[in-house]
Amino acid sequence: MAGQDTRTGSVSVFADREEATRHLADWLLQLATEKTEGPFAIALSGGSTPQSLYSLMATEPYASRFPWARMQFFLGDDRFLPHDHEDSNFGMMQRLLFSRVPVPAENLHPMPGIGTAEDAARSYETRLKQFYGADTFEADRPLFDVNLLGLGSDGHTASLFPGQPVLKEQTAWVATCVPPAAPYTRITLTYPAIHASRHVVFLVEGAGKKEAVAKVRAQDPSCPASAITAMGDLRWVLDRAASPDA
C-alpha cells in the first residue's frame, strides 16, 4: 500500500453538504459491498458534521443495501460520558443510525463511558487488538477499512487536540485527552491506530473550516490533523464552503 498524508491525499469538492454527504454514503456502500471476504471495519467520527451522513445511511436505499451483518463499527474518539448522555458520540450514532438499521449489537464497539478514562482507553485498546489479532501493526495489514475523521477549526481531529501529550503517543493505540478548550475528558485513537487504515477520509464542511483545511493540507505543525497519515490512501471530502481552492 502506497500510504498517503494530508498533503498527498486526494481532494473532492462538492457544491454543498448534501452532495458531499451523498457522495460519501455511495462510496462507503460501494466499498462495503465490494469487500466479500472478512468483516468491513469502519471507525466513525463524532461531532456535528457526520450526523447527516449517519441519518442518510439509515434511509433507503442505503438502509437495505449496506451489508450490516458484515460491518464492524468502531469509534475514532468519544467524550468520556455515559452513552445515554446527549453529548456522547456513541449515543448520537445510536439515535441516528444503529437503532434504525439491522446491525447486530455485537458489531458495535463503543468506547466505554464509565469507570476511569484510563481504564476505558486500555480496555478499548484490548478490544482493537483482539479484533486485529495481534498486538502490533503489520506494515501492510490495516486494522480499519475506513477511518472517518472530522476537523476542528483549531486543527484538531478525533480527540487529538493542540499541545496535548497524546500527540506524542507512538505506541498506544488508544489514549485519553483532556482538551483545555473543549468539554469533557476524551478517549481517542492515536496517530498509529488511525494510520492503520486502508482509507482515511476527512469529511469537512462549512466556511468556518476553510482555513484549517488549508493549514492541514500544508501540514502546518500547529494543527494536530497535519500529522495524520494512512497506510492506504487519504481523501478529503469537502463542500465548496470549506474548500480553500474553491
Going by C-alpha positions, the residue among 148, 153, 160 that lies closest to residue 236 is 148
The residue with its CB nearest to ligand 6PG is: 150
| Cell numbers found for residue 214 | 488549508
**Of 84 and 135, CB closest to ligand 6PG:** 84
**Of 64 and 153, CB closest to ligand 6PG:** 153
Instruction: Tell me how far, at minimum, the Cβ of 158 lies from ligand 6PG, in Å.
Output: 5
Instruction: Tell me how far, at minimum, the Cβ of 115 lies from ligand 6PG, in Å.
Output: 19
Which residues are at the interface with ligand 6PG (CB under 6 A)?
45-49, 76-77, 89, 150-152, 156-158
**Of 67 and 192, CB closest to ligand 6PG:** 192
Instruction: Tell me how far, at minimum, the Cβ of 134 lies from ligand 6PG, in Å.
Output: 26
Instruction: Tell me how far, at minimum, the Cβ of 74 lies from ligand 6PG, in Å.
Output: 13
| Cell numbers found for residue 146 | 475506513
> Which pairs count as long-range contacts for 20-23, CB under 8 Å and 24+ apart, including other chains?
20/203, 20/205, 20/237, 20/238, 20/239, 21/52, 21/53, 21/56, 21/203, 22/56, 23/237
**Of 70 and 109, CB closest to ligand 6PG:** 109
Count of residues in the chain: 246
CB neighbour list of residue 216: distance below 8 Å, 6 or more residues apart? 6, 151, 155, 202, 223, 225, 226, 228
Instruction: Tell me how far, at minimum, the Cβ of 9 lies from ligand 6PG, in Å.
Output: 17
The answer to whether 207 and 217 are in contact (CB under 8 A) is no
**Of 151 and 174, CB closest to ligand 6PG:** 151
